[in-house]
Amino acid sequence: MRKQSGSVIIIVLWTAVLLTVLVTAMASKVRLSAKTVVHNQDASIARATLMGAINQAEMELMLEKMARPIGEQLEETEEGEIRTPEYRFNGQSLELYYPLDENITVRIFDHAGKINLNRIPRRNMQLLIEKRLGGQDADPEEVQDLLTAWTDWTDLNDLEGLNGAEKEYYESLNQPYTPRNNPELDTVEEILHIRGFPELFEGVNLQAAFTIYGNTRTVNLNLATREAMELLPGLDEELIENIIAYREIEEINNRAEIADIVPFEELQELSAWVGNNTTNFFSVYAYRNIELDEETEAEIEAEEFPNFDLVEQAYMEIIEVRGFNDLPNIYRIDPYGMLPDTGPPRVYEEDYLFN
């Protein structure tokens, strides 16, 4: 009898253990399912908010194509001159006509602020290569080899230039491919397929520096990204930061105003690259702001030129806006697009070259 009682107790205990394990497992599964539902809901709301911001940015660009309202008060420079509204599409954080969610930032870059790979003259490509290789210290033979490789990629035939690279070279690679043999590149990243160019542009944010859209041959300094200006002959870091500081105060409308910042010798190099054009092509970025803790905020404030926007990647679209009564054409979508450098001018006011 005692043996039977002991067996019953053991069975009861094991049953209790099994039930406890089952209940615990079911509870964990229920908690996981509940968390999954909440996370999916948050992600859906975040995506809807982000896409709403993109649509508002597109609307902003469409409204820009409309005639200005009568009596509208436009922003003025410190000299009292009316600022060109289109020049705000230079990557600055925007306040749109239709208010954004306070946790979302939108930045728009006019492609007139980038170097157009499909319209760059051969001579300008040579100057760009020379600057990347050290300017006056560049090896002439290396410059010519890279320039020939560029020419072979963008010409219309399979004839290889002196020390160039054509079909035979590219098909001999471990992962073979054929050259474009057309001056129209499909993407800016295609430049990395050209022999020697991955090393030449190593570390460069290509989307920020280059474009393949539109017909402009020059770069508008009012709209130019840091990455594009860093490639332009005649500009060094000090001049670039002064240009960014200057355009926050005044617009750069002519050669004389560029000369207020850029010395004569450097201006001679730069002149062939710059103009006052705008385009219908834009890169639109939208992202959720990062909430900084007190320690991180204190560290940023201690920096010489603090930039509180720590976001490096954002949802990005490249669009063409031709008018206010047609939806934009979308040419590229990148959910993890690399943002251009949007930091404030890294120069003190007392060090301005245009004072």
Per-position pLDDT tens, the chain of length 355: 555 666 777 777 788 788 788 888 787 777 777 777 766 777 788 889 999 999 999 999 999 998 877 777 777 777 777 888 999 999 999 999 888 888 999 999 999 999 999 999 999 999 999 999 998 899 999 999 999 999 999 999 999 999 999 999 999 999 999 999 999 999 999 999 999 999 999 999 999 999 999 999 999 999 999 999 999 999 999 999 999 999 999 999 888 899 999 999 999 999 999 999 999 999 999 999 998 888 999 999 999 999 989 999 999 999 999 999 999 999 999 999 999 999 999 999 999 998 7
Residue type present at position 234: G
The rounded distance, in Å, linking the Cα atoms of 247 and 83 is 10
The DSSP code for 78 is T
0.95 exceeded by pTM: no
Rounded CA gap, 257 and 263, in Å?
A: 11
Pairing of strands 210-211, 115-116: parallel
Torsion of CA 37, 43, 46, 52, to 10 degrees: -100
Q: What angle do CA 233, 235, 240 make, to 5 degrees?
A: 145
Listed residue (93, 101, 114) closest to 55, CA to CA: 101
Burial class (CB in 10 A: 0-12, 13-18, 19+), 106: buried
The domain ranges of the chain are: 1-118+184-355
Torsion of CA 117, 119, 123, 127, to 10 degrees: -30
8-state DSSP, 286: E
- Cβ contact 211:231 at 8 Å: no
Nearest to 110 by CA among 84, 87, 85: 87
Q: How far apart are CA 186 and CA 198, in angstroms?
A: 17
What residues pair up with 281 in beta bridges, in sequence order? 320
